[in-house]
Structure 1
């Protein structure tokens, strides 16, 4: 009877970079060295970093992780756990990242922090203004966010 494959859990994935955790083999440097060597031979894998102490495997890749996981299972390195893993890789990779909205959220959080410290004027108010402007909450009559250079200057 063949030995059961170690189960790898997807911890984080973004295009070209995925982190797996294999907790059942945590603390096994021989396993992780052989895993790094094996994964490095796969087409589309640029770099593999392992940490036996934490059971972490970081894969830099040019191909979808699903293909790498399938190949790893075929050569009996590990099996990627899928049950209850949350959103699929495709769904996670498709999430839009709006940098303007991220900046607005950051300024909003800083505004709350400053207000909590009692630094309302000018610190919290200025940060809140920046957050509102970036998020599009503050719109002038021409339909442009203040200070974004739009409109005809009237």
Structure 2
């Protein structure tokens, strides 16, 4: 149950392990933000708290879900957390195909040979090798099946 007497904190930014809250209606209240820092520091999973009373900002570095810390803050009668903003997720790892890297390198070498006006055989041979590695000729009968 949410208590209307508690200040309302909006999530300005959140990512795994770090969140910034804004408590706009208590902006400039040094004593309030000092008590917030002290209260949040006692909650399990909170690693560090930085408050900026001038802007009404609370930066929380934490372990575990932010929602659990929000519930604990409400139970400790510190503030009520508003709707959860989009939590940034780590970018997925991009798989790099080594064949494609070599093919691009061969294309670059071919362009360099073209710039030196060495078309036959260096530039065209490099382009042929690059197209084979890049899969241009892999499924139309011109290359061996792997």
Same fold (TM over 0.5): yes
Asked if residue 13 in structure 1 is aligned to residue 7 in structure 2, the reply is no
Give every structure 1 segment of 4 or more consecutive aligned residues whose post-TM-superposition deviation is greater than 6 Å. Answer: none
Describe the shift of the 1:54–1:97 C-alpha distance in structure 2 as closer, same or farther (beyond 3 A).
same
In the alignment, what sits opposite 2:29? Answer: 28
- Mapped to 2, the partners of 1:86 and 1:41 lie a distance apart of 24
Asked if residue 97 in structure 1 is aligned to residue 98 in structure 2, the reply is no
Describe the shift of the 1:147–1:77 C-alpha distance in structure 2 as closer, same or farther (beyond 3 A).
farther
Q: Secondary structure of 1:47's match?
A: strand
In the alignment, what sits opposite 2:79? Answer: 78
- 1:147 pairs, out of 105, 113, 116, with 105
- Mapped to 2, the partners of 1:64 and 1:23 lie a distance apart of 23
Normalised TM-score (structure 2): 0.61
Q: Secondary structure of 2:105's match?
A: coil
For residues 65-110 of structure 1, the C-alpha deviation after alignment (integer angstroms, 9 at most, x for no partner) is 100000110111000012xx554xxxx24x342587xxxxxxxxxx
Where does structure 1 lack aligned partners over 5 or more consecutive residues?
A: 101-133, 135-141
Describe the shift of the 1:56–1:37 C-alpha distance in structure 2 as closer, same or farther (beyond 3 A).
same
**Deviation of the 1:16 alpha carbon:** 0.6
Q: Secondary structure of 2:19's match?
A: strand
**Deviation of the 1:147 alpha carbon:** 3.5
**Deviation of the 1:44 alpha carbon:** 0.6
Alignment RMSD (CA, Å): 2.8
**Deviation of the 1:143 alpha carbon:** 4.6
- Mapped to 1, the partners of 2:63 and 2:85 lie a distance apart of 23
Where does structure 2 lack aligned partners over 5 or more consecutive residues?
A: 107-125, 130-146
Describe the shift of the 1:147–1:19 C-alpha distance in structure 2 as closer, same or farther (beyond 3 A).
farther
- Mapped to 1, the partners of 2:62 and 2:56 lie a distance apart of 19
